[in-house]
Amino acid sequence: MPKRFLQRYLPSPAEIRENPVMRPVAQWLHHSEIWHMNRRSVAGAAFIGLFSMFLPIPSQMVFAAAMAIIFRCNLPIAVALVWISNPLTIPPMFYFAYRLGAWLLDMQLSVDSIDMSMSWLWANLSTIGYPLVFGSLVCGWVSGVTGFVLTRVLWRLHVISRWRERRQRNKQTHSR
C-alpha cells in the first residue's frame, strides 16, 4: 500500500488534535498507534470503516472512531472509509441489506413500497428492522473482512515489489 500517497491526503495527528471540535476526546488522540501507517493498523482500519458504513445507526463515524481507538487502528482511514455511505449510497446499500436479511432469515418481504422519509421509517420499523439489522451486519462483516484481506494482500505485494526493485538496483550497482 503506498504509504506516502495515503499520508499526502490524510490530515496530520496535530491538525486533528488542534481542531476545536476534538477537544472533548483529545485525551484519547495521543495514542501513537492510531496514527501509524503499517499493514496491521491500516488493515484493521479498513475492517472497522467498511463494517461501520453498513450499520443502520446515526453517527457511524463516531462508532468507527471509537473502534479505531479501542483496537489501536489507523483513525483517519477508519473514519474516511465510513464516508462511502453517504446520502446517495445509503438507500441502495440499506435496501440491499434489507433484501439480503429477509432472504437469509427466510422472511417474506412485507413492504410493498418504500418512501424515503422518517415517518415511513418509524411506521415500518417493526417489520423491516430485524431483516435490515441482520442484513446490515452480514454486509458489514463481508465488506470488512474483504477490505481487511485485500489491504493485507495489496500491502504485501507492494512490499515484495519494493524488495525486488531494491534487489535489482543492488545487482546493477555491484555488477559495475
CA-based nearest residue to 66, from 75, 54, 57? 75
Contact 56, 132 (CB under 8 A): yes
What pTM, to 2 d.p., does this model score?
A: 0.80
What's the half-sphere exposure (Cβ side, CA atoms, 13 Å) at 144?
Answer: 20
Q: Domain count of the chain?
A: 1
| Domain extent for 99 | 3-174
CA-based nearest residue to 35, from 79, 82, 76? 76
CA-based nearest residue to 90, from 123, 119, 124, 114? 114
Contact 76, 16 (CB under 8 A): yes
Q: C-alpha grid cell for residue 122?
A: 418509524
Local structure of residue 38 (DSSP, 8 states) = S
Q: How confident is the model at residue 2 (pLDDT cuts 50, 70, 90)?
A: low
The predicted pLDDT at position 104 comes to: 94
Environment class of residue 118 by beta-carbon count within 10 Å: exposed (0-12), middle (13-18) or buried (19+)? exposed
The predicted pLDDT at position 63 comes to: 93
The predicted pLDDT at position 140 comes to: 97
17 pLDDT more than 90:
no
Q: How confident is the model at residue 26 (pLDDT cuts 50, 70, 90)?
A: low
Which range among 94-98, 103-107, 111-115 shows the weakest confidence by mean pLDDT? 111-115
The predicted pLDDT at position 129 comes to: 87
5-12: Cβ within 8 A, 24+ apart:
6/37, 6/42, 6/77, 7/37, 10/76, 10/77, 10/80, 11/76
